[in-house]
Every structure is written in C-alpha cells, then in structure tokens.
Structure 1
Amino acid sequence: MAGLTDEVVSKSQQTAAVVVDALVGHDAPALEASAQIHAHFDKYASSTSPEGVKLMSQVDFIEAITPPPNSVAAAYHKIPREQYGILFLVADRSQKGQITVQDYAFFENLLSKPDAEYEIAFRLFDRDGTGVVNFNEFIQLYKENKSADALPFDWNSSWASLYLGGQKTRRELTYAQFSQMLRGVQGERVRQAFLHFDKKSTGHITPAEFEEIIVKTQKHKLSDHLLENLHTLCNVGLSSKISYAHVRAFQNLMKDIDLVEVIIRKAISKSKDGSITRADFINEAAQTSRWGTFTPMEADVLFHFASLDNQSGRLSIQDFAKVVDPSWKPSERLSSEKAAAAAVSSTSKPLQAVLKSMYNFGLGAIAGAFGATMVYPIDLVKTRMQNQRVTVVGERLYLNSIDCAKKVIKNEGFTGLYRGLGPQLVGVAPEKAIKLTVNDIIRDYAKGTGPEGKGVSLPWEIMAGGTAGGCQVIFTK
C-alpha cells in the first residue's frame, strides 16, 4: 500500500494512476460509450471543440443528470437542481470545465456501482486523483461547498481525529477508510448540532431546534409528512422539549428505514385485517433479526409519526408509507384525490339529477294515488247523487249522501265504494307526480334566493307553484 501511494503522489503519473485506480476500484481507462449513453450525451452537449468533438458544460451536465421537474424520482424533489453541479467535479476528470462523451460514460458507469454513493464522494474529495484523501484538500472542498446557513461542524473534534489524525499528525485516508468515516459522519453531525443548541447541557432542545437539525442534515431522505411533523416528536415523551435519546432514536430509525419497511410488510402479511400494532412490529423485528434490532423508543417514534392521522393503534401500510417512503407528498396525493373525486362528481351529477327526478316522481305518484284512494268513496257518492233519477212514483233513489253510502254498501258491499278506482288512479297518480316533481325542480334551482341568501324567494315560490299547476293541467287535458 505504501509503495503504491508513493508512486501516485508524483505528478508524472500516467501508469501510477492506473495502478491506484485498480487498487480502489476506479475505472481509469477511457470507457467505450454505449449507443444509449452517446445519444443522451449528444442530446445535452451544447459545444464542440476545434477538433469537432462534442463537449458538455457544467450546465449541460446538470440538465442531463437531474430528474425532470415534477418527476416521481424518490426524494429528489427536495434537492435544488444547482446542487447537482458538485457531481460535475467527479465527471470532469481533466478539470477543464468541459467533459467528453468518455467522461460522461465513466460517470454513468460509476453510478451503476453498488457502492456509488461512497465512491463518488471519495472521488470528489480526491481532487488530484491520487487514490487517497488529503486532509487539507478535504477541508478546502468542504468549506467551498458549505452553505452559509449550515450547522457548525468541528473537524478537529475527537471523533474526526480518530480518522483524520490530530493537528500535528494528519493522516491520508484510502477509499476504504474514507467510506467508513463517511458512514459515521451523519451521526456525528447530529451530535455536534445537538450540543450546539444545548449550550447549558440540559440534555434537551426545543422542537424548533430539532427540526432545524434534521432539515439541514437529512431533509432529502425524509417524506413531506415527516418534515411537516418533526416538531411533534416531543409528544413521544412527557416533556415539551426533545431529549438526545429521542433524537438518536429518530436518527437510527431513519438510517435503517429500508429494514423498517421490510419488517412492516412481513408483519402486515401475517395480519388478517392488513394492520399491525406496536407489539406486532416489535415481535416481527425480533424474529427478523438475530439480535434486537429496534429499541422500544425507536418503535415509539415510528408509531408516533405513522399514527398522526390514525389513532386507532392498528396501522396499515398506507399509514406507514408516510414515514418510510421519502417520495410521499401529501399535497400531490390530496390534489389527485380531490381531482378524482371531482371527476367522479362531475360525471355523476347528470345521473344524480335523473335519479332524483325519478325519485320525486315516484313519491308524487304514491302521494297522488294515496290521496285519490282516500277520497274516492266521497267522489263516488257525490257522482251517484248527481246522476240519480226519480222513480215512477216520484221518489228519489237516495235521500242524502249517507243514505247513498248505506245503500251502496248494502247492495254492492264495502268494495262498492271503490268501484271504478283503477281508471281514476291511472290519471291522478301521474298528474300529482308531475305537479310535485316540477315544483321540486324549480324550488331546488331557486334555493338561496330568499332573504339573507336562504330559502326560496316569493317570486320563485309563485313561479314554482304556477309552473307545476300548468304542467298538471296539460297532463290532465
């Protein structure tokens, strides 16, 4: 290792660079660009060298690698597009400010590696391509890309010194050493940020301070649901502030969120109703891992954020998706749900109007038939009284209405009072139904025209009654 490192430190390093690249898993030789990569490169490359070679600038590179606006790429909607420009430093191996199709193919190949996240970071800090990360270059690049509002981080802390050495004995990190440091740096950033806010060493910070820490350290890894409700973590305990234990529990949970999702899905698959409790999660986690994977507090944090909209204690995969899926965006999902509901509503309105009219017509027909049935005996007696003839001896058949009704019942039975009801119902039932239906339609249309925007105004009441009566007369005639 030392011999190879000495070789690559020299500036004349054509052969040595290949050796170091092989050592740390790099692809130094120019890569043959596939047809697909070549086509993608040509689509975005905006300039050409004097020799006729197409070149891609940093702006072109950002356009080529960033997801399109409003894409479904997980979590990337939280990363400003200009931040992708730092990756251009990795692709621009010659450091000329422009890259060739071979450089672009090299970067694409780098992205396909299983350890791409670590190797890209290593190449970014290994600015000279020596195969090791130098402390001074590391700090310089860190300061160049550190935002003005970033949380403070002490690279001279005892934790950083374990990897980088003390101020008098700085070390150079190989790829393996650098990637191991990178894995732990997130936890150290959160720890130092907590101490930055907890100046009195109380072991607690405010919800707003916790939210600032998480947003500035891992915003891109969290769903919108989590980001909007970070401040509620204080509700997991009894204090109005958030302890370091809760901060660490939250961080551990997010670090192993993929495993969390696996456990949730396995537990739900064994559930009859497609939902699980906190105990179900803990039991499944214990069965999935040989050792205890998640602490009780970490389970509390998970179920706290997943149950904000469901306090039943039994949570479904939809409840957990708001926590485990970084691309979960409530605004978009709610708008899509509203759009779907609006589409259903607009489609069903005509049908609803038809069904409502049929319903009103049926009620009107029943009401008309019932009314006609109730008064039919009176109409029958009235008609017979009007049509009676005087007998040969000068006597009338019926003395009065009561006498008429008695004689009808005596001679024809009680059903005689309803003789001829059928034809009456054929005419009266639809007549009443039309009258009531038309009246209801016009009154519904005129709702809100009354005093103070309520009820139906008097002119519309007259209009509804008159139109309904007119339709009734037309049908009767």
Structure 2
Amino acid sequence: MFPVNLPPVFNTVHCDSEDGTTSSRKKTALSAINTVKSVMAVPENELKRWRRIFDSNAQIVVEGEKYLSPDQFVNAIAPKGDLTKIGRAQFATLFPVADSSKRGLVSWDDFVVFETILKRPDADYWIAFQYFDVDNSGTITYDEFKNVFKANIGPDAIPFDFDCDWVKLYLGKKNGTHVLGYNEFTQLMKGLQGERLRQAFKYFDADQDGFIKPDQFKRIILELAGHKLSEAVIERLPTLCTLTPGGRISYSEVVAFHNVIREMDMVERIIREATAKSKDGRIDQSDFINHCSSSTRYSLFTPMEASIIFHFAGRGSTTSRLALIDFAQLLDPRWRAPTVPSKVKPETKTGSFLNEVAHSVYNFVLGGIAGAFGATIVYPIDLVKTRMQNQRSTVVGQILYKNSFDCIRKVFHNEGFVGFYRGLGPQLIGVAPEKAIKLTVNDFIRSRAMDPETGRIKLYWELIAGGSAGGCQVIFTNPLEIVKIRLQMQGEAAKLEGAVPKGAVHIIRQLGLLGLYKGASACLLRDIPFSAIYFPAYAHLKKDIFNEGYNGKQLSFFETLAAAAIAGMPAAYFTTPADVVKTRLQVEAKTGQTHYKGMADAFVKIYREEGFKAFFKGGPARIIRSSPQFGFTLVAYEYLHKYLPYPYQDKHREVETALTTQPEDMSKIRARNALKILLDVHGDFARRSAA
C-alpha cells in the first residue's frame, strides 16, 4: 500500500462545546479524517491507476520525488472531450485544494488524498467547502466567505452586499459569532445565486419600477451563468424584452430565465421524452407543459418559463412546433450554428455524387460480410427447412422424415456434420450481394425519406423502403436459391435412389439463364412482404420497446440481437406460403411427383392435394432459421458500421450533451462539477484564478 501523509486539517479535531458534545467543527474534521482513511479501502488496481496518471503527468522532480505543477495537475484531472464550455485551464482553480502544504506543487500523497475525496458522492460540494475553508479549521466564518468571494471576482463585477439580511440569516447578525459547518455551507451555496440575482436586479433598478434594460439583464446572466449558455443564446439574451410590451425586462422574467438555466437537466429530459413520444417528433408549449405535469409530481415549470424556453429555441417564435434539434442551442453550451454554403459549385455536386456512390459501395461491402456471417450460422436450419418443405405426402414411396428433429438425426447419421452445410458455397457466393443490396436499398430509401431534424420516417415510407429492398434482392436471390435448394435436396434422396450428386456448375448449366429465374414471381411474393414487415418491425422494436436513443441510450449487443430476431418471426411465418410455392417450383420434380406450370397452378394444386396446412410446412423451421439469421446479420451490419465507420459521412445533427454521454471517469466528472459550483459564485471565479 502506498504511504499517505495527512494534511493539517486531518490531524486536528476540535471540541468547542463545554459539555463535551460534538460540535459542527468536530463533525466536519471527523468526516475529513474518515475520507482520508478510506484510502485504505481503495482497491489496489485503483491506486495503481492513480499512480500511472500521476507518473505520466508529473514532470517536476525535487529531491528525488515527483510533483505536479498546476498545468500538470490540470492534465491529470480534467475530463477529455468535456461537453461544457469550461476550459481545461480553469481546472487549475482546484489546485489549491489538492496542494494541502501550500508549496505550489502537488505530491503523490496530495494527489491520492484529492482522488480519494473525488470518490465521495458529495465530492463537488466538499471540494468547494475546502476552497473556502482557508485556515483548514473545518468551518467557514463570515470573513472567510467574504474574503474568498471578493478575491475571485473583478472590481468591475456587480456589487454584492455582504451585510444583507440573507447573509445574516446564515452567519448571524454579528460578524464571527456564527460559523458554517459543511452541511450549512452546502445550503448557502445552493441559495447564493438566487440572492445575487435579487441584489443585481435591485442594483440596476435604480428607480425601483420593477424593470431593467436588456443590456443590464445580459450582464447579470453573464456573471451568474454565462458558462452554462451557448454563444447563440448569449447573443440573443436582450431579446427577452420582446415577450412583453415596453422593451424592458421585469424581475419575474429574470427569475423565470434563471430557473430555466438552473433546471436545465430537467428541461432536457422533458424535451427528449416529449419529442420521443410525439408522432411527428415535434412539440409545442402545450405538449411541453402537459408532459411536465405528467412526469413530475408538481408543475415544475410555469407558463412564463415554458415561453422563455420556446422563445430561445424557436428564435423568437413561441408558437412553432419544434424538434429536439431546435432546442440544441439552449441545451448544449458548446452549440454553434451550422455553416450553410451560399452557393453549391458544380464540382461540389460531383464530389457529393461520388461520395454517395462510395458510401453505397461501403454499405454494400459491409452488408455482404454481415450476410455471409448470418447465413453461415443458420445454414443447417435452412437445410432442414428446405427438405421438410419439399417432402410431399402424395409422393410415391416412403416419407423420408417424420419431423424436423427426425430430419436432423438422419442427416447427421447418413451424411455427417458436413451434410448440414451441403450447398453452403453457392449460398455464400450469392448471399453477399443478396443481403448487401437489401440492406443498402433499405438504408438508402430510409435516409432519403427521413426528416433530417427529427430523424423520423413515416410508416408508409418504411414499408416502401423495406418492400423495395426485398424486391431488388430477387435478382440475386432467385438464382442463388434454386441452385442451393437442388444441392440441399440431393443428400438423402440421392443416397436412397443411388444417384450421383451433381455440383453447382452442372445445375447452372442444366438450368440456363432463364431457368435460374424459375419461381421468381413466388420469390418476389415472398421477399417483398418479408422485408416490408421486417425492417419497420426491427426499427420500431429498437425505438419503442428497447428505447434506443431515449436520453442517449445505445442498445447493447443482446438488445440489438433480440430486436432483430423478434422482427424476423412474423416476417418469416406470414411469408411461408410463398416460400413453399417457390421451393416447389424450383426443385426438380421426380417421377410420380406433381408438376407445376406456374405460381397460380402451384397454389391451386398444393391446396387441392395437400390442404391448407401444406402452405405452412416448414414454417417453424423457417422462423427458427430466419429469426437468428437476420438477427446475427443485422447485429454484424450495425457493429461493422460502428467499428469501421465510413470516413466521409456527414454527421447526423444530434443533440449531444453531458446528460446523454457516459462519463469516462466518475472522479473527473465530480471534479468538473466542483468547478461548476465555484463558477456559480461568479462567472469569472475560475478564470481569474487560472489567469
């Protein structure tokens, strides 16, 4: 275990009360000691990780010991790719908290203590408390609070009256007669912005008519919450005066705007949930308020606050129905207006066309790989399904298989394990373009029919996209399946009849070009409805059942597989009659078997000779095959896109915020949140310290 030296505050415990009861100061100091003692409970691998971070950043060596400078300390604790406007340099504000010896350097012992504090669930408030507790006494006096506050704001800041009634309620009427323990301090910090807002408004409202000018409102918000707003919202802050007549801003509007900022995470949750449930992916003020009322115990937002939200999201319009992307400038402090070229040059159009072609080729290749993967996994099931579907109750001679399990047993006994993969070669050769064109066409049509702002697509376009994908694949599917089926049927039957199995090349020559498309009409009748059912079902299962995209949720491997597999069940079963007819048309009829002239003739004769149930022969086997096949195919397709992304693809306009992004390291997130609490004291708090 690495040695850890305790800072002075952790080595002293005070008892201020005469009767020996534990004082607030003692409680705080004891809590600090317990925090550092918890180092002993930190797993060894955690300490090793901290050591790697420390050693990789500590570049200063004094008497053989490594130390972190303020800049190196920032590199060690600041989150990477943080989704806020807080600059990395501002994390240097937390340096004095880690530098317990006040020597301007952070040692390994200091770093361990700081990281241990970050493991506390209340690390953000605890660090802020330590920042204000200058003398390490475990309490904060009136003078400490006042001096630290003034030291971190500029002389041009809006004045704050420390002799106000609000401060006296926390710290008493006489300076120094009452001190704040940790818990009391957290409540003071939570209410501080509200008091500063009140004092700032009163400062600018010199004539006390209850109104201030737009530029004065902007200055107040910049000092209190400028780090929480995007530049687009900041620029339009003065437009708040347009909500009411008179060209000025009331105290009610200032408080309402501040409440929106303070509850921004809840605003985002309500907007995301409401737009996700909306049929068109858009909401208006009524939808927002209604969803807020139904999802919170009390009405969290007033009508004025809702108007302010829609005012800044709708760029002045409070009556529009807005999509999630419209709220991005309010929800995302890093938001920047998308650049739109004023004129598209001819070469740009050419480049765009070539890019689309390249993207389609990319999707085609990944679709082929995914299709081959899925087909290989379920090919034995497909072989059993084919043999069961072709078995006729009126055939001359014995029935080969009693059921699917009997078929599996006999194939394994008579043909071995390899028998389950008879005909796999042509299947893999053909399945690549078959699945590739299906996935590519579906993606292409969906992308063209999709609303770019909401990401929604109408149901009839989903059906068109899926049906078109199924129809286009037949050009590859039919030749592939007729060869595959004839190869599959040779195994057991050839052995019984003493025939010599024929290869794929012989079958192709025997059939000819037109023969390869025998049964194509039945193939179309099967594949168009199959894809029209499958792709919309898959999309809606992911979105509506597994909640993909809900508050930024990404589906796990098993959730994606389940959605894809479940979607294949109804699609496979309801298209079984067309698959039975297609199989009968494509199999080479033997002596004594019924010959079919075409699809209509096959439907009639099968029904007359074998009954309605014959149309669903192999239905369960078809579900067992198609469900996992498309499950593994689509999982492979999506994961290939994830890990082998198209390098030139335009990024979809999504709203990515800290609410929807998984933290890389919880301790770094807590360090960021501690800095936010200090920034809430004043917008220049950390910037002045960093400078």
* TM-score after normalising by structure 2: 0.44
| 3-state SS of paired residue (2:220) | helix
Other-structure match for 1:28:
36
Query: Equivalent pairs: percent with the same residue?
Result: 37
47, 70, 74: which one aligns with 2:83: 74
Q: Residue 231 in 1 paired to residue 238 in 2?
A: yes
Note the C-alpha offset of 1:36.
Answer: 2.4
Tell whether the 8 Å contact from 1:151 to 1:193 is kept in structure 2 after alignment: yes
298, 303, 307: which one aligns with 1:296: 303
Cα distance in 1 for partners of 2:115, 2:75 equals 14
Tell whether the 8 Å contact from 1:91 to 1:104 is kept in structure 2 after alignment: yes
Give 1:368-447 correspondences, 5 Å limit: none
Quickly say closer, same or farther: Cα 1:25–1:256, change in 2 above 3 A: farther
Quickly say closer, same or farther: Cα 1:66–1:344, change in 2 above 3 A: farther
Cα distance in 1 for partners of 2:140, 2:191 equals 17
Cα distance in 2 for partners of 1:224, 1:351 equals 33
Other-structure match for 1:446:
none
1:99-138: CA deviation from partner (whole Å, max 9, x where unpaired): 1123223323333433232111101111232221122222
Quickly say closer, same or farther: Cα 1:348–1:317, change in 2 above 3 A: closer
* Residue identity in the other structure for 2:133: D
Query: How many corresponding residue pairs?
Result: 332
Q: Residue 251 in 1 paired to residue 255 in 2?
A: no
Q: Which moved more, 1:179-188 or 1:341-350?
A: 341-350
1:429-473: CA deviation from partner (whole Å, max 9, x where unpaired): xxxxxxxxxxxxxxxxxxxxxxxxxxxxxxxxxxxxxxxxxxxxx
Cα distance in 2 for partners of 1:19, 1:203 equals 44
Other-structure match for 2:51:
38
72, 78, 90: which one aligns with 1:60: 72
Quickly say closer, same or farther: Cα 1:102–1:301, change in 2 above 3 A: same
Cα distance in 1 for partners of 2:262, 2:56 equals 37
324, 328, 340: which one aligns with 1:317: 324
Cα distance in 2 for partners of 1:257, 1:54 equals 42
Tell whether the 8 Å contact from 1:207 to 1:233 is kept in structure 2 after alignment: yes
Cα distance in 1 for partners of 2:156, 2:163 equals 20
Cα distance in 1 for partners of 2:261, 2:28 equals 35
Cα distance in 2 for partners of 1:17, 1:93 equals 19
Gap runs ≥5 in structure 1: 10-15, 353-477
Note the C-alpha offset of 1:349.
Answer: 7.1
1:188-220: CA deviation from partner (whole Å, max 9, x where unpaired): 111111111111111111110100111111111
RMSD over aligned CA atoms reads 3.1
Cα distance in 1 for partners of 2:217, 2:353 equals 49
Other-structure match for 2:292:
285
Quickly say closer, same or farther: Cα 1:23–1:35, change in 2 above 3 A: closer
| 3-state SS of paired residue (1:190) | helix
Quickly say closer, same or farther: Cα 1:286–1:30, change in 2 above 3 A: closer
Gap runs ≥5 in structure 2: 1-11, 18-23, 357-691
1:61-117: CA deviation from partner (whole Å, max 9, x where unpaired): 23433456xxx412234x4x5543221111111222211123223323333433232
* Residue identity in the other structure for 2:58: A
Cα distance in 2 for partners of 1:351, 1:88 equals 49
Tell whether the 8 Å contact from 2:129 to 2:182 is kept in structure 1 after alignment: yes
Other-structure match for 1:196:
203
Quickly say closer, same or farther: Cα 1:218–1:350, change in 2 above 3 A: closer
Cα distance in 2 for partners of 1:25, 1:258 equals 34
Cα distance in 2 for partners of 1:111, 1:147 equals 29
* Residue identity in the other structure for 1:199: A
Tell whether the 8 Å contact from 1:54 to 1:100 is kept in structure 2 after alignment: yes
Give 1:326-341 correspondences, 5 Å limit: 326-330=333-337, 334-335=338-339
Cα distance in 1 for partners of 2:149, 2:319 equals 47
Cα distance in 2 for partners of 1:61, 1:351 equals 44
Q: Residue 47 in 1 paired to residue 60 in 2?
A: yes
Other-structure match for 2:558:
none
Note the C-alpha offset of 1:17.
Answer: 9.8
Larger RCO (CA within 8 A; separation ≥ 6): 2
337, 340, 351: which one aligns with 1:347: 351
Cα distance in 2 for partners of 1:207, 1:306 equals 19
Other-structure match for 1:115:
122
